[in-house]
C-alpha cells in the first residue's frame, strides 16, 4: 500500500481536518481492494457524520456496516479472525451514531460489544475523539449530561479528559467518586 494511501486510511481525522472528507470515503470504500469493508465503512461514517451535507451518506455507511456485522455475528468461531474489527473502528461507529442518533443510541451500541475491555477502550477512544473535535469539551459535557453511564465508562472518559489535557466537569468527577465510595464499602 503506498505510503500516502496508508496515512489517509489510518488517520481519517487528519484528512477531515486538512483535506476533503470525500477523499477518506473514496479510499476506505475502494471495495475492490477489500474483502472486509466494515472498518472502512465505520471510519467513513464517523467522518461523514460530522457534516450536515454528508449525514445521509454516513447513515448509508452505517446501515451497510450493520449488515456486514450481522453476517459476521453468524460466522463460526474459527473464522472470526479472518474478519477483524479493531477498537478504533468500533469507536468510529459509536461516534457516527452519536452524531446521527444521539448519545443514548451511541452508548447502547457501544455497550453491545464484548468483552467489557472492548467497551472501556472504545469509550476512551470515542471520548478522546469528541474532546479533540470542535468545541469538544462542551459537546462531551452536553452528551454526558443526558446519560447514566457505567463506572468503567466513566473511568474511560476521565482518562480521555486527562489525555486531552482538558479539565473534566465536576459533575463527572463527583459521579465517579460516588461510585467508587459505594464499591469501597463492600
pTM (whole model) above 0.75: yes
Residues 11 and 23: their CA atoms lie apart, in Å, by 12
Say whether pLDDT at 99 is over 80. Answer: yes
The answer to whether the beta carbons of residues 62 and 73 sit under 8 Å apart is: no
Residues 53 and 169: their CA atoms lie apart, in Å, by 32
- Enter the C-alpha cell of residue 80: 472470526
pLDDT per position as a tens digit, 15-28 = 556 556 666 556 55
Helices (H), the chain: 3-10, 12-18, 21-28, 38-48, 55-73, 87-101, 103-111, 116-132, 136-144, 151-163, 170-184
pLDDT value at residue 35: 80
pLDDT per position as a tens digit, 50-89 = 999 999 999 999 999 999 999 999 999 999 999 999 999 9
Amino acid at each position: 500500500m503506498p505510503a500516502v494511501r496508508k496515512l489517509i486510511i489510518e488517520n481519517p481525522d487528519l484528512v477531515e481536518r486538512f483535506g476533503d472528507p470525500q477523499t477518506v470515503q473514496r479510499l476506505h470504500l475502494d471495495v475492490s481492494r477489500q474483502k472486509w469493508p466494515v472498518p472502512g465503512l465505520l471510519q467513513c461514517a464517523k467522518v461523514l457524520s460530522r457534516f450536515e451535507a454528508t449525514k445521509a451518506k454516513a447513515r448509508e455507511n452505517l446501515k451497510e456496516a450493520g449488515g456486514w456485522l450481522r453476517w459476521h455475528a453468524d460466522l463460526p468461531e474459527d473464522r472470526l479472525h479472518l474478519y477483524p474489527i479493531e477498537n478504533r473502528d468500533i469507536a468510529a461507529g459509536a461516534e457516527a451514531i452519536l452524531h446521527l442518533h444521539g448519545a443514548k443510541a451511541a452508548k447502547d451500541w457501544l455497550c453491545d460489544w464484548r468483552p467489557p475491555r472492548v467497551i472501556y477502550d472504545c469509550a476512551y477512544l470515542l471520548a478522546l475523539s469528541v474532546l479533540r473535535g470542535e468545541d469538544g469539551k462542551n459537546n462531551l459535557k452536553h452528551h454526558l449530561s443526558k446519560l447514566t453511564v457505567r463506572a468503567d465508562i466513566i473511568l474511560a472518559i476521565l482518562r480521555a479528559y486527562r489525555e486531552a489535557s482538558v479539565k473534566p466537569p465536576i459533575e463527572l468527577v463527583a459521579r465517579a467518586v460516588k461510585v467508587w465510595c459505594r464499591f469501597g464499602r463492600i
